[in-house]
């Protein structure tokens, strides 16, 4: 396999998991393997438009009508025939009536006449032009229109926005506010969307305790599961939370079986190393299928992807920042693909001047937490958000971007240009 232009080259590091030797995958290779293994879930359902935010269209939507359905005014002003516009001096027109949005003028505008018209109102028969109200004056009951206007101005033609029969939204489109507005403009009250994938989650580790319990020495709260649920809440998926699973071979196997029977995907945090009590790795190796186990990235090297039964499996590291990074870069694109959307991953990257020194050793693609700011001249500056340890969740909460440092990159000095990935749309 050749390296992809613009991406870090493959790492020469080796994977130490039994039966899975060889070099570590690059992030791009890992993402490609996941997306080639994930297919959209089957099934769809009809939902009311008010409940469709974030859902994925199951099929195409064509316009059943022209939008707008009639010629209408783009301005408040006066509707008239273009032939009434003079090339010299002012034209004096009789005011025949008024056309309001929802209450059109019912007659035909004759020669020498005009109609007061409001934005969005239907143009009366006999008119094809609108003159803005601030460009006319009233004299003795007559409407005086000066020069400098053109026939057809300030008129929205039939179908200017959407034409009858036109494809307006394709299958796989995720419905945001603008798309829902389009459907509402077409009079669509219900829409057919894809079934949301079911995603099961659980945390492993005897050191973990539920929130609200007192901690004994050596114990910590289960923050990863709450963090993971919050990230999943932004996706078009349903979450099955299986809670905490003890570090035992039998409990881990049962959790896998329960999750696989009820979900399309399983996401865990912790237990993907090769320690004596890391039963997630062992369970997947014995009873499932391992596609890959290690990726040349930091944080997040011990991240696993495979299958258990029909469900795809993502094993994220136990350190919270590592879990967030691997979720963003690998899991989220896969879940979007599983949901059937045509947009399957974080892609926005910016260039920024780094204002703080960054420590980095060559060998892995690295995602450091940063604070991105745009300067008055439009240029972007970025600085470290603090301690970069994979367990340092507070510096993650202070950040608004990842500083993406290539595999071969060493330390970064202030003033150097770096690549950043904003959290907007990602977290």
Residue 28 has pLDDT above 80, yes or no: yes
Architecture category of domain 44-66+160-194 in CATH: Alpha-Beta Complex (3.90)
| Range 373-391 average pLDDT | 94
pLDDT tens sequence across 251-309? 999 999 999 999 999 999 887 665 545 788 888 889 999 999 899 999 999 999 999 99
Specify the fold of 72-156.
Answer: Molybdopterin biosynthesis moeA protein; domain 3 (2.170.190)
> 120-129, 234-243, 417-426: which range is least confident on average?
417-426
pLDDT tens sequence across 64-101? 999 999 999 999 999 999 999 987 888 999 999 999 99
| Range 103-114 average pLDDT | 96
> 21-25, 91-95, 234-238, 254-258: which range is least confident on average?
21-25
Backbone angles phi, psi at 282, to 5 degrees: -65, -45
The CB density around residue 187, as the number of other CB atoms within 10 Å, is 11
Going by C-alpha positions, the residue among 394, 246, 265, 261 that lies closest to residue 320 is 394
Q: For all residues of the chain together, what is the average pLDDT? A: 90
The ranges of the chain annotated as CATH 3.90.105.10 are: 44-66+160-194
Q: For domain 350-422, which CATH number applies: 2.40.10.480, 3.40.190.10, 3.40.50.300, 2.40.340.10?
A: 2.40.340.10
The ranges of the chain annotated as CATH 3.40.980.10 are: 27-42+196-339
Tokens of 18: 């039994």
The ranges of the chain annotated as CATH 2.40.340.10 are: 350-422
Residue 400's pLDDT is what?
Answer: 96
**Contact (CB, 8 A) for 13 and 21:** no
Residue 344's pLDDT is what?
Answer: 62
Tokens of 226: 């709450």
Element at 305 (helix H, strand E): strand 304-308
> 182-186, 229-233, 317-321, 398-402: which range is least confident on average?
317-321
| SS3 state at 9 | coil
Backbone angles phi, psi at 392, to 5 degrees: -85, 80
DSSP notation for 348-383: --EEEEE-S-B---TTSEEEEEEEEEE-TTS-EEEE
pLDDT tens sequence across 72-81? 999 999 999 9
Going by C-alpha positions, the residue among 65, 41, 69 that lies closest to residue 168 is 65
| Range 385-412 average pLDDT | 93
Quickly tell me which residue has 């099934």 as its tokens.
43
Residue 345's pLDDT is what?
Answer: 57
What CATH class has 27-42+196-339? alpha beta
Going by C-alpha positions, the residue among 187, 225, 190, 232 that lies closest to residue 339 is 232
pLDDT tens sequence across 127-176? 999 999 999 999 988 999 999 999 999 999 999 999 999 999 999 999 99
The ranges of the chain annotated as CATH 2.170.190.11 are: 72-156
Cis ω for the linkage preceding 368 (within 30 of 0):
no
């Amino acid at each position: 396999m050749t390296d992809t232009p613009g991406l870090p080259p493959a790492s020469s590091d080796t994977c130490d998991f039994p039966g899975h030797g060889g070099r570590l995958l690059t992030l791009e290779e890992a993402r490609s393997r996941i997306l080639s293994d994930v297919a959209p879930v089957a099934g769809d359902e009809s939902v009311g438009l008010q409940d469709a935010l974030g859902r994925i269209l199951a099929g195409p939507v064509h316009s059943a009508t022209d939008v707008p359905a009639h010629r209408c005014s783009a301005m408040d002003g006066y509707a008239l025939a273009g032939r009434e516009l003079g090339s010299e001096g002012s034209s004096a027109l009789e005011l025949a009536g008024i056309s309001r949005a929802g209450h059109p003028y019912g007659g035909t505008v004759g020669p020498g006449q005009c109609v007061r018209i409001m934005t969005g109102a239907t143009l009366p028969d006999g008119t094809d032009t609108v003159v803005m109200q601030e460009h006319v004056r009233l004299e003795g009951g007559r409407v005086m229109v000066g020069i400098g206007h053109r026939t057809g101005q300030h008129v929205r033609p039939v179908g200017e926005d959407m034409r009858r029969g036109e494809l307006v939204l394709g299958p796989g489109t995720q419905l945001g506010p603008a798309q829902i507005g389009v459907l509402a403009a077409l009079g669509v009250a219900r829409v057919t969307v894809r079934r949301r994938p079911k995603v099961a989650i659980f945390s492993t580790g005897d050191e973990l305790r539920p929130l609200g319990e007192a901690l004994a020495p050596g114990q910590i709260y289960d923050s990863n599961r709450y963090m993971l649920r919050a990230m999943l809440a932004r996706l078009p998926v349903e979450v099955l939370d299986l809670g905490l699973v003890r570090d035992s071979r039998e409990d881990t196997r049962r959790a896998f079986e329960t999750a696989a029977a009820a979900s399309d995907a399983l996401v865990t945090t912790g237990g993907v190393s090769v320690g004596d009590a890391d039963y997630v790795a062992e369970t997947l190796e014995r009873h499932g299928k391992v596609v890959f186990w290690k990726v040349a990235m930091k944080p997040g090297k011990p991240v696993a992807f495979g299958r258990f039964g029909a469900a795809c499996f993502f094993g994220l590291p136990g350190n919270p920042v590592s879990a967030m990074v691997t979720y963003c870069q690998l899991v989220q694109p896969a879940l979007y693909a599983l949901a059937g959307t045509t947009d399957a991953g974080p892609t926005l990257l910016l260039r920024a001047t780094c204002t703080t020194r960054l420590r980095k050793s060559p060998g892995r693609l690295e995602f450091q937490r940063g604070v991105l700011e745009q300067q008055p001249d439009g240029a972007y500056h970025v600085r470290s958000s603090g301690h970069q340890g994979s367990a340092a969740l507070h510096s993650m909460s202070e950040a608004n971007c990842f500083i993406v440092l290539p595999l071969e990159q060493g330390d970064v000095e202030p003033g150097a240009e770096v690549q950043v990935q904003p959290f907007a749309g990602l977290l």
